[in-house]
Each structure stands twice: as C-alpha cells, then as structure tokens.
Amino acid sequence: MTTIEDPAAPIQIPVRDEATIARGERLRLLVRSPGFILGAILVGFWVVCALFGAMIAPQDPQADDILNKLVAPSGDHLFGTDRLGRDVFSRVLVGAREILITAPLATLLGTVIGTAIGLVTGYYRGLVDDITMRIVDAMLAVPVIIIAFLAIVARGASRLTIILVIGFVFSMIIAKTVRAAVLSERELDYVQAARLRNERSPYIMFAEILPNVMGPVVVEFTVRLGYAIFTIATLAFLGFGADPSIPDWGRDIEQHYAFINGGIWWAVLFPSLAIATLIVGINLIADAIAQTFER
C-alpha cells in the first residue's frame, strides 16, 4: 500500500488527553466521596491490626489469668477479660488477622473462578450455558452455611476448607454477574472483528472481552468480601472455625454469649462491634466504587 497524499485530510491532535482526565476524575471522585473515606478509615484500622496486632496489643491475647476471669472493662483491661481471664481488647485486635486472611483469599478465589465461568458461559451460550446456569441456580438455592457444614464435615475444619467452600459458593454468584455483562459485550462488533481474524475463543474471551467487564468484577469483589467476612464469622460462631489456638471474633462471641444473661456483655459486644465495623467499612467502599462505575 502506498501513501496517498491529500491535503484535505483532517487530522486532529487532541489538545488534552480527555480519557486520562476522565479516569483521573473518576478516581478523584471516588477518593473524595465521604462513604469511601469513612470505609477506608474503618477497614484501614483493621488492616493495621491484622498486620501489627501482636505488637499493638497491650497484653498477650492468649495469656490466661484465672484470678481475673470475666472482669468488667477497667483501666487494666479496656474491654474487660473473658472466661479464662484473657484480655478482650488484645484478643479483638489480634483477631482481625485470621478473618482478614481467609475472607479476601476466599473472595479472590471466588472472583477468579466465577469470572472464568461467567466469561465461558456468556460467550458460548447454548447448551454449556444452560447446564452451567441451572447448576448455579441449584447451588444458590442452598444456604451457604449448609454447604459449608457439609464441606467441613467431609474435609475437617481448616482454613483451607473454609477458603475453598466460600470461594466455590461465591464463584457461582459472581459467574452470574459476569455472564450478564458478557452477554451484552459479545454482541458488539469488535468481537465479530476478532472472529473475522480467526482469533481463538480464549483470546476473544480473556484478552478482548475481559478488560471490558472489569468494572462489574471489581464491584462484585468488594461486595462479596463483606459477605465473606460475615459468613466466616458465622461459621466460627457455630463452632466451625479454623484453628482454635488463634484468637477469632466469631468463636469468642460463641463462647461468651451465654454469659450475657448474667450481665457480662463485654466479652460479646466488643468482638461483635469489630465484625460490624469491618463489614460496614467494606460495604461503604463497595457502594462508593459501584457508584463511580455507574457514572
């Protein structure tokens, strides 16, 4: 092909990079939204605790003190002590670590698998899609907790089991969201153009379509993270937590809720508040992200 000269050819050099500005603007709007700031403060606090909890904690969270069992909050013990005389404040700080390891890993696993399933079913449609989606519907009809029970009974309670089972269930939900996004994306002409180059389907799905559905994927990840924390705490409360030697909010609540009747509220209230603030923080961030993507 040779160059054709045409002085009339209108060429425009964009004065400014509008797309970069738009992206930067979106990020700035996100960072400035009050919901995001509050959420980031809450989550940031617990992340710091998860990373450095053992250093910050004023006392050894595992140290028994038989003489000071179930002591009310005081100067020595800000949040009081539990039934073995352990410092509740220290246990709450250190307890962030376990849940902030398992929940993100489980959600990440679910997001990766779910996105892959959503891409494949949404792209191919047809029989694969029908069968997979019916299985997904069936799985979603059973409460997460019951599936988790079954898995834990079968495999034994461990961190890995919890991550796998939550990741598995979440992948179903995320697959549905991603599939919906892919269904509208695959109708666009750039997908036809790729087919006209005889691109392989995996390239079309993962290189062409995936970058265009990342918005819903990110939103779904943050929303699911909140649910994962809730589910893991519930499992621990029901006695299906991982390693009993590690401080855990859910199990601490389970072991002390019977004492509430006796007026001993602190051993239950503070771990509950910890769970609540973390979930609220994540949900605030999720809402802020979802709103910026809707713009």
Where do contacts with other proteins occur on this chain (CB under 8 A)? 1-15, 17-19, 22, 25, 188-190, 192-193, 195-199, 208, 211-212
For the CB of residue 108, give the shortest distance to other proteins in the complex, in Å: 22
Comparing CB distances to other proteins, the nearer of 185 and 252 is 185
Q: Which one, 182 or 232, has the nearer CB to other proteins? A: 182
Place of tokens 């220290």: 90
Q: What is the DSSP string of 182-221?
A: HHHHTTSHHHHHHHHTT--HHHIIIIIIGGGGHHHHHHHH
Looking at the Cβ atoms of 71 and 204, the one nearer to other proteins is 204
Q: Which residue has the tokens 């961030």?
A: 285
Decide if 94 contacts 247 (C-beta within 8 A). yes
Contacts (Cβ under 8 Å, ≥6 apart) of 220: 111, 114, 173, 174, 177, 178
Kindly tell me which of 9 and 55 has the beta carbon lying closer to other proteins: 9
Stated as kind and residue range, the H or E segment containing 163 is helix 159-185
Residue type at 188? L
Q: Which is nearer to other proteins, 194 or 279 (CB)?
A: 194
Q: At how many degrees (to 10) do helices 266-294 and 18-32 cross? A: 160
d(CA 144, CA 30): 32
Q: Are the beta carbons of 81 and 69 closer than 8 angstroms?
A: yes
Half-sphere exposure of 101 (CA within 13 A, CB side): 13
Q: How far is the CB of 181 from other proteins (least distance, A)?
A: 13
3-class DSSP assignment, residue 50: helix
**Which of 23, 155 has the CB closer to other proteins?**
23
In the bound state with other proteins, the residue whose beta carbon lies nearer, of 24 and 143, is: 24
Burial class (CB in 10 A: 0-12, 13-18, 19+), 16: exposed
Q: How far is the CB of 194 from other proteins (least distance, A)?
A: 8
Smallest distance, other proteins to C-beta of residue 16, A:
9
**Within a 10 A sphere around the Cβ of 101, how many other Cβ atoms?**
16
Q: Closest approach of Cβ 208 to other proteins, in Å? A: 6
CB of 24 to other proteins, least distance (A): 11
Let me know if 102 is exposed, middle or buried by CB neighbors in 10 A (0-12, 13-18, 19+).
buried
Query: Position 202: which residue type?
Result: P
Nearest distance, CB of residue 147 and other proteins, angstroms: 36
CB of 93: closest distance to other proteins in angstroms?
42
Compare residues 119 and 172 and give the one whose CB is closer to other proteins.
119
Token couple for 200? 């392989």
